[in-house]
Structure 1
């Protein structure tokens, strides 16, 4: 009977997984069918001066999805070494769950990448990457071609590049600019669009470096979109250097953000789902909109900017690194003597001061102990792992540090990681 039960359970589990996979594929494929034909490898009608197409088109199959996220999945304040509900810092920040506070668990809107046009299998992301969108990679003179499907049932999305060349049709920005609304300016629930970005001369790595960080984000209502989680990184390499750089360096992409969960367009959904005893209200109907002029422009932005009675006492303002507070994320790992590239970026409005205990880094050709990154800014820095141990990586603004903006990185003496190649 025990063997039969296990066999039945295994068969049921396999059936459930297959059904879920089939349902997900069936749900997505019709959405993307109209867009996949546009993934044709054809260059835009205008290219930047000095762009010499390499012939490489880097294709990405992406979706905007709702997923559950916990800023402190271990349940610990790893700075103090105590459970989160015993941490005075967590209490001060409003991170501890109660009858009137959501704590650290939320639904987030995140970019996900799939291996192919079937939209059935996610691509692999480094464990440390957290809730960042997929790491996109390309070389100078390549074209990046992305099909983005909106799998969110109620909200709009777009995709805007920070640093690469694009035409108006791939700007991913909805505003009355005197031209027609492009398909990629706003993607309604169930819709899709194709974006084409070129890595031209204006996007090359800095002198003396072979790689450089850029980013992307949704731009329907950027404030609410980014608090919800819709952003990700792009790494650009010099032509022909991607494999060598990746094979001879430890690469770490670190997002410093300030996520105001009360401001996310999912705030109302989160309260209703995780805090049903709290009387949350959608007050959007109180917006004083007297007419319908330019509705195609303002309506998606209004939907992504719902007015509620939720504030930071209910859904806190978090200061995470890659979506984790109080060193709750997987550590960044390297071995003694390794070369490391730290790709740093800031998706919020606060400035951050990135500091590593135990090591300095090279930034803009100079050794430094601190790298400042303003809102929207990206920085590419290098480090030689010369000091073994477990070290803190933090934001040196004291209020951000108190809010949990810290992580751990380790330099191993007896290396357990796959070895790097020789430069």
Structure 2
């Protein structure tokens, strides 16, 4: 048992903070280049309009940049993603904290592009904002806004009460972090991940809320591959783009919008599995393209959202919400965006409720 835990049992959490200071969660995160396949399992619930069956895997594989977690500051060993979070897909590692705590990120840029890490909702000084714009700040406070390839930078983000659940909220809420050098291109390149913040004193030893049995994080994300930093290299390799379509063709961008859930389409998201009667919390958010207006819909179940019983919620670009479910209907069910174009584009997944 840690010194903090021993003191907490002996004198209480508030006094421990006064003695040791707030708890600091340290993460070692790198931006890495990967070859990302939007349909690695070959599952196809609906088909994608215009996607040829022959060579389809190649057409759905693109060079991207994603956030990975490492075990320490050497960035030599990837930290394995636990089975319960395999469904995060293209999303970066989950960051957690309670109100009153601190998140410290040691970030390394392993890509060939400038990038950063910028959090929503949390508190930070200007040198930990991770967002490049003309704010009149001295150059030394802007280093973390555009970390050069091969360089490392440390961000410190605090979690004040206004970053945690408000009265009437669930005990934990979702925020998002992403690169903010050139935000539209950075996010379409794949640099985005989740943060979960819980009310003070509300979590178990592993950081999960005490009032929840299972958690899922889902990003309804339209990725525009024509806005990726790797657009040119993907085009130059001669595999990614359909013959006869010019870059200036009005149909070109539409052809390379990928309607994903966590960067996976057409049911390729790992099965989301829960048991009947469990307390399940869903955290949902949308990407930032103009097409990212979504209506996530669960078949066979209902959720509690904003104190309302429903089976569908509404998301707008970069909107983050929570919904609580107690599944009562055993079986395998469809989970999808209800916007027609998005259904046809493959923004669908499956979830299973076990007895």
Please report the TM-score for the alignment, with normalisation by the length of structure 2. 0.85
| Correspondence list, 1:224-239, <5 A | 224-239=185-200
Does 2:154 align with 1:212?
no
* Change in CA separation of 1:98 and 1:336 when aligned onto 2, cut-off 3 Å: closer
* Change in CA separation of 1:312 and 1:113 when aligned onto 2, cut-off 3 Å: farther
Question: 5+ residue gaps in structure 1?
Answer: 1-50, 80-88, 280-307, 414-423
> Which residue does 1:340 correspond to in 2?
280
| Correspondence list, 1:29-68, <5 A | 55-68=22-35
Task: Select which of 299, 302, 306 maps to 1:360.
Answer: 302
Contact 1:206–1:212 (CA<8 Å) still a contact in 2?
no
Does 2:345 align with 1:378?
no
Shift of 1:345: 0.7
1:255 match: secondary structure: strand
* Change in CA separation of 1:277 and 1:139 when aligned onto 2, cut-off 3 Å: closer
Contact 1:336–1:387 (CA<8 Å) still a contact in 2?
yes
d(CA) in 1 for partners of 2:184, 2:88: 22
Contact 1:97–1:103 (CA<8 Å) still a contact in 2?
no
> Which residue does 2:93 correspond to in 1?
134
Contact 2:272–2:350 (CA<8 Å) still a contact in 1?
yes
Aligned length: 324
Please report the TM-score for the alignment, with normalisation by the length of structure 1. 0.71
Does 2:86 align with 1:119?
no
Q: RMSD across aligned C-alpha pairs, in angstroms? A: 2.6
| Correspondence list, 1:196-345, <5 A | 196-208=156-168, 209-243=170-204, 245-246=208-209, 248-273=212-237, 275=239, 313=252, 316-345=256-285
Farther-moved stretch of structure 1 (226-235 vs 179-188): 179-188
1:333 match: secondary structure: strand
d(CA) in 2 for partners of 1:265, 1:368: 39
Contact 2:61–2:240 (CA<8 Å) still a contact in 1?
no
Q: For residues 305-330 of structure 1, what are the alpha-carbon distances to aligned partners after superposition, in whole Å with 9 as ceiling and x for unaligned?
A: xxx76986486101100111111111
> Which residue does 2:131 correspond to in 1?
173
d(CA) in 1 for partners of 2:190, 2:31: 10
Farther-moved stretch of structure 1 (252-261 vs 365-374): 365-374
d(CA) in 2 for partners of 1:95, 1:237: 42
Task: Select which of 173, 177, 186 maps to 2:146.
Answer: 186
Task: Select which of 79, 90, 95 maps to 2:51.
Answer: 95
Q: For residues 107-164 of structure 1, what are the alpha-carbon distances to aligned partners after superposition, in whole Å with 9 as ceiling and x for unaligned?
A: 11101111212212222331111000111111110010001111002x1101111111
Shift of 1:192: 1.8
Contact 2:234–2:240 (CA<8 Å) still a contact in 1?
no
Task: Select which of 42, 58, 72 maps to 1:75.
Answer: 42
Contact 1:100–1:275 (CA<8 Å) still a contact in 2?
no
Question: 5+ residue gaps in structure 2?
Answer: 1-16
Q: For residues 399-420 of structure 1, what are the alpha-carbon distances to aligned partners after superposition, in whole Å with 9 as ceiling and x for unaligned?
A: 111110111010011xxxxxxx
Rg comparison, structure with higher value = 1
